[in-house]
Amino acid sequence: MAKVITIASQKGGVGKTTTAANLGAAFAQSGKRVLIIDADPQANLTRHLFPSPISDEDFTLMDALLELVDRPGLRFPTKGILHTAEDVDIMPSHINLAAFERKTTSELGRERFLETYINPLRDMYDYILIDCHPSLDMLTINALVAADSVIIPTQPQDFSIKGIADLLVTCEKVKKLNPKLAIDGILITMMDGRTNLAKTMATQLRETHERIRIRVFETEIPLSVRAAESSAASRSIFRHDNKGKVAAAYKQFAEEVLGDGTTEDVAS
């Protein structure tokens, strides 16, 4: 069965969507069957991996979740899932997902809608990644309830790091609904190794979370315009700049996650 990993941060602009896209692409390069779920109404991940525009007439995550309310016995789990040039599948998002909380206010068990959607898909994939938007709202709660584990991207900056504590508190609360939820670790992104401030903040981040036994991944994703370029071009960093430092970092990061502390080859 697939391992479900939620990639979450309540702080925007920390490389969360870039991490979801490139980690999924790296998994696929290693031969894993990968589904990425775009649980952000901004749909940035959808545009990152799928260049064709998604309209309100297309079947997206919001439609799949509402089927659980309106027609729970008439489900087709793979409906709406798209295959991408990165050899990963994606359940796309649309701005209509912003209405999820309002439309499910009166529904019992609304924290489990995404879990219910994902469960029939677990046998079809090795990894299912969920990209969240930067808010600790009902969509993010759904993503945490559905997950086996969480990866938390953060920039080596004060405001980004302070947001981790709130997310960790939320994860502890979610364990009442999902006792198996684990923290895979914290990923340092947009690391500018040329500045003393970034290096100091990264060191403090590692020391602080080592004391509470929260893993900080060894890999640090470097700051580079190539990451933004790849997103704008609707392709992973591996198709955009496979020999660059960001691609190398995401390959190394995928090895850490796949190996769970050991090295596992991720193809170039």
Task: Look at residue 268 and tell me if it is in a domain.
Answer: no
**pLDDT by position in tens, the chain (length 268):** 999 999 999 888 898 999 999 999 999 999 999 999 999 999 999 999 998 889 889 999 999 999 888 776 657 889 999 999 999 999 999 999 999 999 999 898 999 999 999 999 999 999 999 999 888 899 999 999 999 999 999 998 887 777 898 899 999 999 999 999 999 999 999 999 889 999 999 999 999 998 999 999 999 999 999 999 999 999 999 999 999 999 999 999 999 999 864 333 333 3
The pLDDT of residue 264: 32
The pLDDT of residue 154: 94
User: pTM, whole model, 2 decimals?
Assistant: 0.93
Task: Look at residue 93 and tell me if it is in a domain.
Answer: yes
Domain CATH for 77: 3.40.50.300
The pLDDT of residue 262: 34
The pLDDT of residue 11: 82
Quote the number of domains for the chain. Answer: 1
Task: Look at residue 203 and tell me if it is in a domain.
Answer: yes
* Residue 128 lies in domain: 3-259
The pLDDT of residue 265: 34
The pLDDT of residue 267: 36
At 188, list the tokens. 């340092």
Task: Look at residue 167 and tell me if it is in a domain.
Answer: yes
Task: Look at residue 149 and tell me if it is in a domain.
Answer: yes
At 22, list the tokens. 């490139």
Task: Look at residue 267 and tell me if it is in a domain.
Answer: no
The pLDDT of residue 263: 32
Q: Of the candidates 8, 34, 2, 4, which has an alpha carbon nearest to the alpha carbon of residue 185?
A: 8
Sign of the Cα pseudo-torsion (139, 174, 154, 3, in order): negative
Task: Look at residue 158 and tell me if it is in a domain.
Answer: yes
Task: Look at residue 12 and tell me if it is in a domain.
Answer: yes
The pLDDT of residue 261: 42
CA distances from 39 to 73, 74, 77, 94, 120 (A): 23, 22, 16, 9, 18
